[in-house]
Structure 1
Amino acid sequence: MSLMPAAVLFDFDGTLIDSAPDILTGINRLLDEENLPNLDLAQVHQFIGDGAPMLVTRTFAAVGRPLDPDSVPAMTDRYMAIYEALPADPSCVFPGVAETLASLSADIPLALVTNKPERATHAVLEAIGLAPYFKAVVGGDSLPTRKPHPGPLLHAMAHLAAAPGKTIMVGDGANDVTAGRAAGCQVVCVTYGYPRMPVEQLGADRLVDHFRDLPSALADLTAG
């Protein structure tokens, strides 16, 4: 892998793992506690990607009981307690992810930059066996800002001692592209994730249909 970026940053939900079923289970258990109707998987797909507080806010608006802003933190804490108690299933890892991360991490420093809360992120990474591949993990509550702000990406790159111009962000949605661009990185998007718009319209430098195709896309961008 002589022709590769200095570092690679990854989104989590929708990029490395199919977390939507567990998120749906957790959010519906919270709604059950509130005697409210449940969401379906398609709705949850549209609510993922902007952090747990926004997920909870969108959920309650969708079921017809919008939350007062002051009540969002406590309701988010309740949701996270439910979600973190769910056993992580290693089968949630998308095909080709574990093998590709293992190969890349042997030569390139990798970081995870997600809007999922940091504690939950570490717990899931450990449970599904992906934790050893990442030299840094930045969660949605690790810093004052989260994606699409470039701050989390810049923080991860500083930890890896990698220059933005030699770093590539890999994600599945607009937040990843916007944050990557603002941080000075090139961006690769997977086509199987949870974007809220056609993935072809996100403006990524490359699209990959299968995670195992990522190394060739990284090499192509580095050579470019």
Structure 2
Amino acid sequence: MTFPFSALVFDLDGTLIDSAPDMTRVLNRMLGEFGRPAVTEAQVRGMVGDGSANLVRQAFAATGAPLEGEALQPALSRYLDLYFEDDQPSTLYPGVAETLAHLADRGVHLGLCTNKPERISRKLLGLLGLAPLFGAVAGGDTLPVKKPDGRHLSWVLERLGEDPASPRAAMVGDNGNDVKAARAAGIPVVAMSYGYPRMPVADLGADLVLDHFADLPAALESVASRR
């Protein structure tokens, strides 16, 4: 049976990987170098989703006087370098590797649309053995725009050879930026309940909310049948 979607675009943090422990570790190394106290993983989970600059900005605001504009750049650059140098791979959520491989085997083109910087995203995909599955990757610094701007998502679809207006494309994410980007691009969106939504996941406005990544193929077939 032909799968109803020919292209799927995924968020990374909170959707495919639980990266909050890694970001906490790297942030705290950077904060220590700048004379700031550490942040907790719980704090970081509430900061994820809007890109690295906003993450670093929030970390400084949470640990003393905030940094803005040019004053933020040295800390941001150091955080990105430390993160890229970090060789401890993030933890895949259960069922992610097997489900992505299953979708690829069914002929689905897979893309990644994340607000994490591209070089770090690509390195993580490589460390986790997922890189060969993805035909297009867009980080938060790949384009002049990023999620929730729908052009970020549309760019990935175009690189996958998919018309952004195609009824056979969908987004899979975990927070409001993913839902807004999908709506702006005009495609359906599935939200995973276990990520970093920063609001009740039921209120995100996704077409469907899932608790388990392994349920995604069947859920997408259900979404397609209702269209």
After superposition, the CA RMSD in angstroms is 1.1
Aligned pairs, number: 223
Distance in 2 between residues matched to 1:72 and 1:142, nearest whole Å: 20
Amino acid at match of 1:208: L
Secondary structure of residue in 2 paired with 1:47: coil
CA shift digits 1:97-117 (9 cap, x unpaired):
000000101210010000000
Amino acid at match of 1:40: T
Secondary structure of residue in 2 paired with 1:135: strand
Distance in 1 between residues matched to 2:64 and 2:138, nearest whole Å: 33
Q: How much has 1:37 moved relative to structure 2?
A: 1.1
> Corresponding residue for 1:166?
168
> Corresponding residue for 1:175?
177
Distance in 2 between residues matched to 1:159 and 1:141, nearest whole Å: 16
Distance in 2 between residues matched to 1:144 and 1:5, nearest whole Å: 28
Distance in 2 between residues matched to 1:70 and 1:167, nearest whole Å: 39
> Corresponding residue for 1:197?
199
Q: More deviation in 66-75 or 99-108?
A: 66-75
215, 222, 225: which one aligns with 1:223:
225
1:53–1:28 distance in 2 versus 1, CA, 3 Å:
same
Q: 1:52 aligned to 2:76?
A: no
Q: Do 1:3 and 1:223's aligned partners in 2 also have CA atoms closer than 8 Å?
A: no
Q: What's the TM-score, normalizing by structure 1?
A: 0.97
Q: Do 1:3 and 1:222's aligned partners in 2 also have CA atoms closer than 8 Å?
A: no
Distance in 2 between residues matched to 1:118 and 1:88, nearest whole Å: 17
Q: How does 1:151-162 map to 2 (within 5 A)?
A: 151-162=151-162
> Corresponding residue for 1:129?
129
Distance in 1 between residues matched to 2:88 and 2:218, nearest whole Å: 30
Q: How much has 1:87 moved relative to structure 2?
A: 1.2
Distance in 2 between residues matched to 1:57 and 1:157, nearest whole Å: 31
Distance in 2 between residues matched to 1:139 and 1:222, nearest whole Å: 28
Q: 1:97 aligned to 2:99?
A: no
Distance in 2 between residues matched to 1:100 and 1:30, nearest whole Å: 35
Name stretches of at least 5 consecutive residues in structure 1 with no aligned partner. Answer: none
Q: How much has 1:120 moved relative to structure 2?
A: 0.5
Higher helix share: 1
> Corresponding residue for 1:207?
209
Name stretches of at least 5 consecutive residues in structure 2 with no aligned partner. Answer: none
Secondary structure of residue in 1 paired with 2:171: strand
Q: Do 1:7 and 1:109's aligned partners in 2 also have CA atoms closer than 8 Å?
A: yes
Amino acid at match of 1:121: S
> Corresponding residue for 1:40?
40
> Corresponding residue for 1:78?
78
Structure 1 ranges of 4+ moved more than 4 A: none
Q: How much has 1:161 moved relative to structure 2?
A: 2.1
Secondary structure of residue in 2 paired with 1:70: helix
Q: What is the identity percentage for the equivalent residue pairs of Structure 1 and Structure 2?
A: 47
Distance in 2 between residues matched to 1:195 and 1:214, nearest whole Å: 18
Distance in 2 between residues matched to 1:4 and 1:88, nearest whole Å: 36
